[in-house]
Every structure is written in C-alpha cells, then in structure tokens.
C-alpha cells in the first residue's frame, strides 16, 4: 500500500530527464537507439511531473512493446504503461495493462499492488471514466490497449 503509493508518486527531476533526453537524442541522431536506451528514457519520462513527458514516455513504451517478442520485456512495458497512465489519472487504461499482466502472471504481486492502488484512487477521486477523460494520449494508446487485449484473448 504505502510502497505502491511511493512508486506512483516518485518523481524524476527535470535535470535527470534532460540528461536522458540528451543521451537518447544523440543516439537517435546516430541511428543507435537500442531498446535499452529507449527504455531508460521512457522510464524517466513516465515519472516526470510534466504530463507531456509522461505521454511521450507512453508513446516510446508502445513502440518498444510493438517491437519486442520477449514476454518478459512486454510485461515490463505493460507495467510502466500502466504506471504512466495512472499518473495521468487515466485509470481505466492503467487497469487494462495491469489486467493483461495478471492474465499472464496471475501471481505478479507488483501488478496486483499497483492495481489495488489504482482502484483505490479511482474510488477516492470518484473517477467518472474515459467519457470525460479522453484526450490525445488516450487515442494514441488505443493500439497498445488493443495489443494488451489481444494478449488477454490468447
């Protein structure tokens, strides 16, 4: 409970994001983007205080998700997609990703704990759903959600 709150509220300072941004952009210029440096940057972004950063991070995670075949890696990208969405208060999206993880790994306590916390926040904030919360980011993420749902059906 407390731990998951910490995780959700943990913030990366702008300087650190900038540092990773520089590394990533240099790599991009030199066509040397790897899953590793992309993920490091994405992970930084989803923990930014700036919503625009979180959205960019979610986009990178989606690209990573689409381009990997490793189940382990997919799981990690889903988890951080959930985290990013939760931080944007887009709880329904977050829950979809978490349910996808739990479908594959029912015993994954990290996903379970995050799900509990997201559910708790939804209740606390009287969450009213995507009908109102829809934004560019939600549309952007349609594809990844579909992928998560595809896993659920597998």
Partner 1 sequence: MANQGPYNYSYIFKYIIIGDMGVGKSCLLHQFTEKKFMADCPHTIGVEFGTRIIEVNGQKIKLQIWDTAGQERFRAVTRSYYRGAAGALMVYDITRRATYNHLSGWLTDARSLTNPNTVIFLIGNKGDLDGQREVTYDEAKRFAEENDLLFLETSAKTGDHVEDAFIETARKIYQNIQDGSLDLNAAESGVQPKPTTTSRSPNGASGTDGSGPSGDSKCQC
Is residue 91 close enough to count as binding partner 1 by CB under 8 A?
no
- First vs last C-alpha separation in the chain: 31
Round to whole Å and give the CA distance between 138 and 134: 6
Is residue 154 close enough to count as binding partner 1 by CB under 8 A?
no
- Of 72, 128, 131, 132, the one binding partner 1 (CB under 8 A) is 72
Comparing CB distances to partner 1, the nearer of 44 and 141 is: 44
Round to whole Å and give the CA distance between 153 and 150: 5
Among all chains, which residue has been given the structure tokens 């934004």?
135
- Considering only 86-94, 117-125, 126-134, 143-151, which stretch makes contact with partner 1 by CB under 8 A? 117-125
Site string (121-140) toward partner 1, x via CB under 8 A: --xx----------------
Comparing CB distances to partner 1, the nearer of 5 and 67 is: 5
Q: Half-sphere exposure (CA, 13 Å, Cβ side) for 59?
A: 10
DSSP H or E stretch at residue 125: none
- Considering only 37-45, 48-56, 84-92, 146-154, which stretch makes contact with partner 1 by CB under 8 A? 37-45
Tokens, residue 16: 């650190």
Is the CB of residue 65 less than 8 Å from the CB of residue 88? no
Binding site for partner 1 (CB under 8 A): 1-7, 9-12, 16, 20, 35-37, 39-40, 43, 72-73, 75-76, 79-80, 105, 107-110, 113, 120, 123-124
């Amino acid at each position: 409970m407390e731990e998951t709150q910490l995780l959700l509220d943990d913030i990366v300072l702008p300087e650190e994001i900038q540092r990773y941004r520089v590394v990533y952009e240099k790599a991009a210029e030199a066509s040397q983007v790897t899953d590793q440096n992309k993920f490091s940057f994405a992970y930084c972004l989803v923990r930014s205080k700036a919503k625009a950063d979180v959205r960019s991070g979610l986009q990178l995670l989606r690209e990573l998700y689409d381009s990997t075949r490793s189940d382990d890696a997919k799981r990690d990208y889903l988890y951080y997609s959930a985290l990013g969405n939760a931080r944007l208060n887009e709880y329904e999206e977050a829950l979809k990703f978490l349910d996808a993880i739990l479908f594959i790994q029912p015993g994954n306590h990290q996903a379970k704990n995050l799900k509990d916390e997201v559910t708790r926040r939804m209740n606390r904030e009287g969450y009213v759903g995507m009908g109102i919360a829809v934004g560019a980011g939600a549309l952007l993420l349609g594809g990844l959600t579909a992928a998560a749902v595809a896993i659920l059906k597998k």
